[in-house]
Amino acid sequence: MDISLNFDTPKESVAVFIICDNKLLLTRYKYEGVWVCGATQGTFLKKGDDPLKKVIEVEREQLGITLVPKFACTIESYINKPKPDGRVRLRSLIYLLEITEESKSQIKKNNQFRWLNLEEINESKIIREDDKLIFSRFLSHNHKDLIMDVDQMGKWGRPKLLDWSEA
């Protein structure tokens, strides 16, 4: 299948994957009565935002820590959504932050956060399928840029991954 690069709405975001002691920090969201986990910490970018400064700001606000992550890769998702967005091109700049137990202890306590062993990602029923692809490739040190085609027609919590390729 070829991924159509046509889109109606462009968006950009930053996200940081946080790893400690062979575990990935996930953020839990309740969607349609089901807990799902998504990319750890992130936000949308506005025109003129510095991505690294923005991801550090998000860490400080959401986690209570201020550490400098390393840039890892770009993920470009073409997401079919209901109107008014239509087909969205979401370009996500992904950063990696590997922390110590001491830094882990400084993260704000929040029942929305969950640590998951890296070996359990592919079998997990609480991680979205598109995120499983991202996590498994990323954590196998395959930090190549990705392009994904996702059907999210009203189902943010359970999107359908249609296709993917390396950029």
pTM for the model = 0.80
From the number of C-beta atoms within 10 Å of its C-beta (0-12, 13-18, 19+), residue 94 rates as buried
Q: Residue 57's pLDDT is what?
A: 92
Tokens, residue 91: 């370009």
Q: What is the 3-state secondary structure (H, E, C) of the chain?
A: CCCCCCCCEEEEEEEEEEEECCEEEEEEEEECCEEEEECCEEEECCCCCCHHHHHHHHHHHHHCCCCCCEEEEEEEEEEECCCCCCEEEEEEEEEEEECCHHHHHCCCCCCCEEEEEHHHCCCCCCECHHHHHHHHHHHCCCCCCEEEEEECCCCCCCCEEEEEEEC
- Kindly report the CATH class assigned to 9-166: alpha beta
Tokens, residue 140: 């196998």
Tokens, residue 4: 């159509």
pLDDT in tens, the chain (167 residues): 477 777 788 889 898 888 899 988 887 766 555 555 555 578 889 999 999 999 999 888 888 888 899 988 888 888 777 777 778 888 888 898 899 999 988 888 877 788 888 888 888 877 777 777 777 777 666 666 777 776 655 554 556 666 667 76
Pairing of strands 9-20, 41-44: antiparallel
